[in-house]
Amino acid sequence: MKIKCLIVDDEPLAINVIKKYLEQIEEFEVINTFTNAIDSLNFLKTNAVDVIFLDINMPVLDGINFIKSLENPPMVIITTAYKEFAVETYELDVLDYLIKPIEFPRFMKALNKVNRRLENNKAIYDTTKERPYLFVKVDKKKMKKIFLDEILTVESLKDYLKINTTTGKYIIHSTLSDFTDLLPSRDFIRIHRSYTIAIDKIDAVEGNSVEIEGLRYVIGRSYIEAVKQKILNSSI
């Protein structure tokens, strides 16, 4: 199956460069290109993509606010001439940050990240059962079954994660982005670059934090609007 790509950049020349690069890689497919973020937002309402190659400085709606406007963004690779936005986009969980002019070897490195994330997402995950679960590797040999309805929070520990459940805590080798992508977005939400939580396990919301089983978790500044909207939509 092809990896579906969307290119959003207000410079047609930049679009053509990325498009030509992608045409050289068989498993990647450019399904559309846009010179502004507004049109791409409308396109995403009815079309699914795997990865967006996104410029930052664009008229009307810039790349950063474009990402913030997406409830469940696909993988995003920033393509920009400016280095100074790297830290801000890191909090938005972009997959890579490419500085123009983009050389092909560096571009290939970004595509390898796409492939690795997709490969990591091929977890043993069964949603056909009454209680959906997934298996995670908790040491070099042991695979542990974790029921999704038991997960409280998932905490990033750099290259590892701590999965806190109602029955125990488990350390696995993964990134928070990759693991969050495995979870159903209707039941889980990322609230911080270090935390993903189960929506139905939230006991209280106060200011810029949520409370789960007596512990308070701060909502990251770039996540707070989406988190509060999701929580309110989940309430009666």
Whether residues 103 and 8 fall in one domain: yes
Domain end point (choices 96, 120, 144): 120
- What is the edge-to-edge ordering of all strands in the sheet holding 51-54? 28-34, 3-8, 51-54, 75-80, 96-99
CATH number of the domain encompassing residue 17: 3.40.50.2300
Calpha distance 185→169 (Å, rounded): 22
How many domains, the chain? 2
Q: Strands 143-147 and 133-137, how do they pair?
A: antiparallel
| Residue 144 and residue 77 in one domain | no
- Quick one: pLDDT band at residue 41, thresholds 50, 70, 90? very high
Residues 135 and 67 in one domain: no
Give the domain range for residue 71.
Answer: 3-120
Residues 23 and 97 in one domain: yes
Pick the last residue of a domain from 85, 120, 155.
Answer: 120
The per-residue pLDDT for 102 is: 95
Percentage, residues of the chain above pLDDT 90: 54
Q: Do both 17 and 87 map to the same domain?
A: yes
80 & 105 share domain = yes
Q: Tens digits of per-residue pLDDT, 155-194?
A: 998 778 899 999 999 988 888 887 888 888 889 999 998 9
Calpha distance 182→134 (Å, rounded)? 9
Mean pLDDT of all residues belonging to the chain: 87
- pLDDT (tens digit per residue) in 64-94: 999 988 877 889 999 999 988 887 787 788 8
Q: Please state, in angstroms and rounded to a whole number, the distance separating the CA atoms of residues 52 and 74.
A: 7
The mean per-residue pLDDT over the stretch 130-140 comes to 78
